[in-house]
């Protein structure tokens, strides 16, 4: 791993930077240090444990307990703190043998250095963050772009090799820093060209232009009508659910027709789709239902005097219940604000009750199809095929990943399901992420693995400084025997 000079300076070859580290100093990535002329890891090796032992009663006179927590049979060595073997012309740092349900297993453990990586961010909000393809910036540098919105959420694609290596040095450094913070579940403020400023943090509500979001929408305007039409029946004559995507009009909608509601004669702006569903009623924005309007009556194009009537009761509401207004038509058929009846208010509150909390989700995405595989086997394609055949399970810090179909090992992982501070960096710039490949021992031998470098779980735990952490209850145990799917 190192090249030692006469003055006790060591050269670290964990990444292409090849730091020369003086005694008592740390390398540029803060992950390796020179301790008396020897290269050492700064961080301990993180292992996760699951408890299968019964709880110890806390009672006076209890015997047979030394004061330590019950030691679980299940211990898994993660790649966090494992170090790397870049450029992987040598075996992975840890190749660990263990047993699960009586089956001999092997887990190959490493930290991958990823220039080909990015972050996908799901932001639960109807607020307009920016047009599709708009640049997303940090400190003025473009780090990604806005991609297609999904149901109740705005989506960002950040990072990638072009921003890490294809632009200026500053762009690469800023991109790497932003992704590192996001993956370690820290807040990052993003500025979107032609749009909003948004603070994103995994597992936390987004903050859009300084406003903390509380909830995501219950559905589009049409879906809202489908859910709540029976509860409005008899209390309203018309409901317009304002939505940037699909605005719903109850009396025209199939939900209203099913309830035999007469047409109210209120025509909204926009492009009519199927009955009761309208597109493009307003521009996107931070107002009602993700539109740019503050006054909901702005989307009313006309009121048909042949169909509408004085005293008509009109509810206008947003898809989150955050905005709601009650109107009654006067003798001239003009909508007049009025006090909302209690039964109608109850349904508006129910819309809000049915909205899930607004959260930011951060998915780390990377390609492990390069030289990293050579740290697992001398015949790298066999690892790829083993993953595709579901003979090898891929985990990231012990957390489950989604492996994309097609060539290579391109995976995504929800950083919220990983241990704290699981990610690092190297100043090339690139992110460092833990990675584990778990398979049956006979499968490891068949794919040409480094069987001579396999150590027992007990040896790996005894020979290293450890950071023991409990496994997450919602994560499958990573040493479970992989099965074909």
Domain ranges of the chain: 1-42, 221-353
Q: In this structure, what token pair is assigned to residue 399?
A: 């957390």
Cβ contacts of 334 within 8 Å, gap of 6 or more: none
Check if the beta carbon of residue 368 is closer than 8 Å to that of residue 375: no
What are the φ/ψ torsions at residue 483 (nearest 5 degrees)? Answer: -125, 150
Query: What would the pLDDT profile of 210-227 be if each residue is shown by its tens digit?
Result: 999 999 999 999 999 999
CA distance 431 to 205: 25
How far from the centroid of its chain's Cα atoms is residue 198's Cα?
A: 16
Q: In this structure, what token pair is assigned to residue 337?
A: 């604000």
Residues of the chain with pLDDT under 70: 1-6, 51-73, 88, 481-485
pLDDT of residue 52: 54
CA distance 207 to 119: 19
CA distance 116 to 138: 20
276-292 burial by CB neighbour count: b if 16+ within 10 A, else e?
bbbeebbebbbbbbbbe
pLDDT of residue 381: 94
Q: Do the strands 141-150 and 197-200 form a parallel or antiparallel pair, or are they unpaired? A: unpaired
Helices assigned H by DSSP within 80-168: 161-165
Q: What is the pTM of this model?
A: 0.87
Q: In this structure, what token pair is assigned to residue 152?
A: 């109740």
How far from the centroid of its chain's Cα atoms is residue 49's Cα?
A: 24
What three-state secondary structure class fits 440? strand
Which stretch of DSSP H or E encloses residue 16? none
Q: In this structure, what token pair is assigned to residue 184?
A: 């370690």
Which residue, among 414, 292, 321, 357, has the nearest Cα to 125 in the 3D structure?
357
Beta bridge partners of 66: none
CA distance 276 to 110: 56
How far from the centroid of its chain's Cα atoms is residue 451's Cα?
A: 36
Beta bridge partners of 109: 94, 436
Which residue, among 171, 448, 166, 126, has the nearest Cα to 319 in the 3D structure?
126
């Amino acid at each position: 791993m190192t090249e030692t000079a006469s003055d006790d300076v060591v050269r670290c070859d964990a990444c292409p930077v090849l730091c020369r580290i003086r005694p008592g100093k740390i390398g540029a990535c803060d992950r390796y240090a020179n301790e008396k002329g020897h290269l050492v890891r700064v961080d301990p090796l993180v292992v996760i444990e699951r408890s299968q032992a019964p709880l110890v009663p806390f009672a006076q006179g209890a015997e047979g307990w030394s004061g330590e927590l019950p030691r679980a049979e299940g211990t898994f060595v993660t790649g966090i703190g494992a170090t790397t073997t870049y450029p992987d012309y040598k075996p992975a740092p840890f190749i660990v043998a263990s047993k699960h349900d009586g089956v001999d297993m092997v887990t190959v453990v490493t930290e991958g250095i990823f220039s080909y990586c990015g972050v996908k961010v799901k932001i639960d909000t109807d607020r307009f963050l920016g047009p599709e393809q708009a640049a997303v910036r940090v400190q003025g540098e473009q780090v990604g772009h806005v991609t297609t919105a999904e149901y109740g959420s705005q989506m960002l694609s950040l990072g990638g090799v072009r921003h890490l290596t294809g632009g200026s040095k500053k762009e690469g450094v800023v991109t790497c820093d932003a992704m590192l913070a996001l993956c370690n579940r820290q807040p990052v403020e993003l500025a979107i060209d032609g749009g909003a400023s948004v603070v994103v943090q995994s597992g936390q509500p987004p903050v859009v232009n300084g406003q903390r979001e509380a909830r995501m929408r219950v559905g589009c305007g049409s879906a809202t009508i489908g859910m709540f039409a029976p509860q409005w029946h008899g209390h309203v004559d018309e409901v317009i659910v304002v939505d940037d995507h699909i605005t719903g009009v109850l009396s025209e909608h199939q939900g209203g027709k099913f309830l035999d509601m007469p047409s109210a004669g209120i025509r909204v702006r926009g492009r009519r789709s199927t009955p009761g569903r309208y597109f493009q009623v307003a521009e996107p924005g931070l107002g009602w239902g993700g539109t740019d309007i503050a006054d909901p009556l702005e989307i009313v194009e006309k009121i048909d005097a042949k169909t509408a009537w004085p005293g008509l009761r009109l509810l206008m509401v947003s898809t989150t219940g955050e905005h709601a207004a009650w109107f009654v038509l006067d003798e001239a058929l003009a909508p007049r604000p009025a006090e909302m009846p209690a039964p109608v208010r109850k349904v508006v509150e129910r819309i809000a009750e049915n909205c899930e909390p607004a959260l930011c989700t951060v998915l780390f995405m990377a390609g492990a199809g390069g030289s990293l595989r050579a740290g697992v086997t001398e015949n790298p394609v066999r690892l790829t095929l083993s993953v595709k055949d579901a003979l090898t399970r891929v985990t990231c810090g012990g957390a489950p990943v989604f492996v994309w179909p097609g060539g290579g090992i391109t995976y995504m992982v929800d950083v919220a399901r990983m241990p704290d501070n699981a990610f690092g960096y190297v100043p090339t710039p690139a992110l460092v992420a833990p990675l584990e490949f778990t398979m049956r021992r006979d499968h490891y031998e068949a794919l040409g693995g480094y069987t001579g470098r396999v150590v027992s779980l007990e040896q790996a735990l005894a020979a290293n400084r450890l950071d023991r952490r409990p496994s997450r209850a919602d994560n499958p145990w990573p040493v479970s025997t992989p099965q074909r799917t």
